[in-house]
Every structure is written in structure tokens, then in C-alpha cells.
Amino acid sequence: MSSKVVIYPGTFDPITNGHISIISRALKIFDRLVIAILNNPQKLPLFSMEERIQMIREVLKEQRHVDVDSFNGLLVDYVIQKKTNVVIRGLRALSDFEYEFQMALMNRKLNREVQSIFLMTDYKWFYTSSTIIKEAASLGGDVSGLVPPIVCKKLKQKFGY
Ligand code: PNS
């Protein structure tokens, strides 16, 4: 039987414990998972693509079933290029739903072969996002426990404390 690969796309600026929870749960359903980081300089990420990839590799070094990659252009084209047809995303609060629903429907319009599936986030990560974690960290807030220790360290370095 061929192994089933799922694509987990996002910005991952930086990876959080919420992402890691989705990844480990997705691996209970799929054989392999590809973390696909959108290369979008317009978003002005805090961490460069290289930094994001390096942090993810470090954090997930024990996970033999995860690959990290970057992509440009349409997600559905990337998915097909990876010879699969499934995208996974995590869902937190109700506020995520509208955005995710819109993206899933647009992706479906662009390519009906590509299926989007969603995992509800663990309640522990319900209120966290890369954006809010960066904001707290930029103001000197303690974000340990919300991101892996290496990410915590990199955030401190970025914000100079
Ligand atoms: O972590 P994010 O920022 O919520 O991830 C958003 C992402 C990367 C999944 C989304 O912006 C995306 O898939 N962009 C690729 C461009 C694309 O395919 N757009 C059309 C469908 S929305």
C-alpha cells in the first residue's frame, strides 16, 4: 500500500507548540507530513525562511516522518507537485473558521482533487498564535511553554534581551 502524505502549509513565523500538537496528531492519521512554508516576502516575517526551516528541523529532529519545505505560488499546485491531495490545517477559535473556510473553498475551486481537512486545536493552544506570541515576546513577555525552548531563545535574541 502506498504511504499517504499530507501537506501542512503555513507561515510558521515561528513554529509554536500549537503547530507541533497538530503535527503529532496528523501523524496518527497520515504516514508522512510535509511542513510547507509559504515564501511570501510581502508578509515581512520576523524570521527569515532559513531561520524558520532551521528551527523546525531542530524542534522536530526526532520526527522521521516529517519533511520541511518552502513553496511559492498556489498551494494546490504545490500539493499536486508533491504527489498527494490532502492539506491539513489546525482550527482554533471561531474567528479562524471564516478565513479557513474561505481558503478551503478557494483551493477547492482551483483544484477539486485537493481536499482540506481540519483538526481542532488542543484547548491548551486555543488562544495562541505566532502573531500574538511575537507581540508578547517583543514586549519582554515570557512565552516559554507556548513555543519550544529553542524558539523561545531565538525570540529573545531577535528582540535583544
Ligand atoms: O499560517 P498562515 O499564514 O495562516 O498560512 C496561510 C497559507 C500559507 C496556508 C495561505 O496563505 C496559502 O496557502 N497561500 C498560498 C497561495 C494560495 O494558494 N492562495 C490561494 C488560496 S487561498
Whole-structure pTM over 0.85, yes or no? Answer: yes
Residue type, 75: L
For 4-53, what is each residue's pLDDT tens digit? 999 999 999 999 999 999 999 999 999 999 999 999 878 899 999 999 99
Kindly state the percentage of the chain with pLDDT values over 90.
Answer: 92
Whether the CB-CB separation of 87 and 113 falls below 8 Å is answered with: no
In the residue annotation, 43 being an active-site residue is answered as: yes
Q: Nearest residue CA, atom 9 of ligand 1? A: 10
- Ligand 1: atom nearest CA of 74 is 18
Q: What is the pLDDT of residue 1?
A: 61
Q: Is 148 exposed, middle or buried (0-12, 13-18, 19+ CB in 10 A)?
A: buried
In the residue annotation, 130 being an active-site residue is answered as: yes
Choosing from 4, 24, 43, 124, the catalytic residue is 43
Give the residue from 70, 69, 115 showing the smallest Cα distance to 89: 115
